[in-house]
């Protein structure tokens, strides 16, 4: 017979209030509630011949102890200390993140030494000291299995360099010791589906104290046009070959041709833009100087021998002095100073 106990006697049930009293007493969330529920459940269970008297008694005892501790805590101020520690722990937990949960624009502090496999960082406001700033990220594709650190490094270095350049277009504002940095999957995290590379600027010296971001979300159209066309000059200059011109003239003249192209392209793009009144004259003067520099770099690119190359080398570099840009940058409210002696070297 369904619902019947042994020998046809009704099956004994457990009093629900007794269970609730015990649970409230154990978790200590609302001590008085557990006490009240236990005091109601105890006579009720006896009257209805239900199970749960022991639970009700345990709930009453635990809730009474919890209530006593609560009163003592309120009188002595201990509850306030506990709550403050709880709030502190919650704040720390909220700011602590895995590098793989960081988002573009987040500034972060690293707990301990800056490592590519750090698993715990703290996000902080960008106007406070921090070791890193996230510039973007991407998912690794094209690998059917763990490719190894070296393979990921090759992809990450190239793509994070481009990502950082797009994030900080005003390169003069980037500290000299800023590194292109990235967090990448480990062999262990790869097994559970992690394919994220997080790109960042980072420093192992003096912490950053401002955001390095200068992209289309923070710059106006005139600033973006200026930087987009002038920055390739520095990119070309920094690609100067390691081979000495005396041993490899061809590779050096090819590099000079690349710089010449960047200079002439910048001059043309700047000249063809409608600048604000405050910038029109400074930018026009800059284009004149770029045209003069292009003549020098053309000679460098067409040098017939090493001697002819060296004859114009210093003149070509001097023709691209950063001093030429300061007035135009100031008129556009871009960074006006660059660490160093004012020459692009």
Does 79 score more than 60 pLDDT? no
- What is residue 332's predicted lDDT score, i.e. its pLDDT? 97
- What is residue 237's predicted lDDT score, i.e. its pLDDT? 96
* Buried/exposed code over 42-73 (b: 16+ C-beta within 10 A; e: otherwise): bebbeeeebebbebbbbbbebbbebbeebeee
Q: How confident is the model at residue 278 (pLDDT cuts 50, 70, 90)?
A: very high
Does 303 score more than 90 pLDDT? yes
Lateral strand order in the sheet of 107-110: 96-97, 121-124, 107-110, 132-139, 196-202, 179-183
Average pLDDT over residues 325-333: 96
64 versus 313: which is more confidently predicted? 313
- What is residue 188's predicted lDDT score, i.e. its pLDDT? 86
- What is residue 16's predicted lDDT score, i.e. its pLDDT? 60
Does 335 score more than 60 pLDDT? yes
Distance CA 182, CA 167 (A): 14
Distance CA 252, CA 300 (A): 9
Does 342 score more than 70 pLDDT? no
Model confidence pLDDT, tens digit, residues 170-203? 999 999 889 999 988 888 889 888 899 999 999 9
- What is residue 110's predicted lDDT score, i.e. its pLDDT? 80
Q: Is the pTM above the cut of 0.75?
A: no
Average pLDDT over residues 236-247: 94
Does 265 score more than 60 pLDDT? yes
Q: How confident is the model at residue 11 (pLDDT cuts 50, 70, 90)?
A: very low
Residues 6+ apart with CB under 8 A from 268: none
Q: What percent of the chain shows pLDDT beyond 90?
A: 57
Model confidence pLDDT, tens digit, residues 94-150? 444 455 578 899 999 887 666 655 556 788 999 999 999 999 999 999 999 999 999
* Mean pLDDT estimate for the chain: 81
Distance CA 121, CA 102 (A): 9
211 versus 102: which is more confidently predicted? 211
Q: How confident is the model at residue 77 (pLDDT cuts 50, 70, 90)?
A: low
Q: How confident is the model at residue 3 (pLDDT cuts 50, 70, 90)?
A: very low
- Biggest alpha carbon distance in the chain? 116
């Amino acid at each position: 017979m369904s619902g019947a106990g042994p020998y046809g006697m009704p099956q004994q049930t457990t009093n629900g209030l007794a269970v609730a009293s015990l649970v409230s007493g154990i978790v200590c969330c609302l001590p008085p509630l557990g006490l009240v529920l236990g005091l109601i459940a105890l006579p009720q269970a006896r009257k209805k011949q239900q199970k749960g008297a022991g639970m009700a008694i345990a709930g009453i005892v635990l809730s009474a102890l919890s209530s006593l501790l609560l009163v003592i805590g309120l009188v002595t101020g201990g509850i306030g200390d506990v709550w403050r520690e709880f709030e502190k722990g919650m704040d720390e937990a909220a700011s602590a993140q895995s590098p793989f949960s960081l988002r573009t624009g987040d500034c972060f502090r690293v707990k301990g030494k800056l490592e590519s496999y750090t698993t715990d960082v703290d996000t902080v406001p960008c106007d406070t000291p921090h070791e890193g700033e996230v510039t973007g990220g991407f998912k690794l594709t094209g690998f059917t299995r763990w490719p190894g650190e070296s393979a990921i490094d090759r992809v990450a270095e190239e793509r994070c360099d481009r990502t950082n350049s797009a994030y900080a277009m005003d390169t003069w504002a980037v500290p000299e010791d800023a590194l292109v940095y990235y967090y990448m999957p480990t062999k262990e995290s790869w097994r559970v589906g992690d394919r994220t590379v997080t790109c960042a600027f980072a420093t192992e010296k003096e912490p950053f104290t401002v955001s390095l971001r200068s992209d289309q979300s923070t710059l106006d159209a005139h600033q973006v046009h200026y930087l987009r066309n002038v920055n390739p000059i520095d990119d070309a200059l920094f690609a100067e070959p390691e081979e000495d011109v005396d041993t490899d003239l061809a590779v050096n003249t090819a590099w000079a041709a690349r710089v010449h192209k960047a200079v002439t392209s910048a001059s043309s793009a700047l000249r063809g833009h409608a600048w604000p009144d405050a910038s029109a004259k400074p930018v026009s003067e800059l284009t004149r100087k770029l045209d003069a520099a292009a003549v020098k770099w053309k000679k460098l690119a067409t040098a017939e021998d090493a001697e002819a190359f060296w004859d114009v080398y210093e003149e070509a570099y001097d023709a691209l002095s950063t001093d030429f840009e300061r007035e135009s940058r100031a008129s556009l409210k871009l960074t006006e100073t660059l660490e160093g002696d004012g020459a692009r070297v």
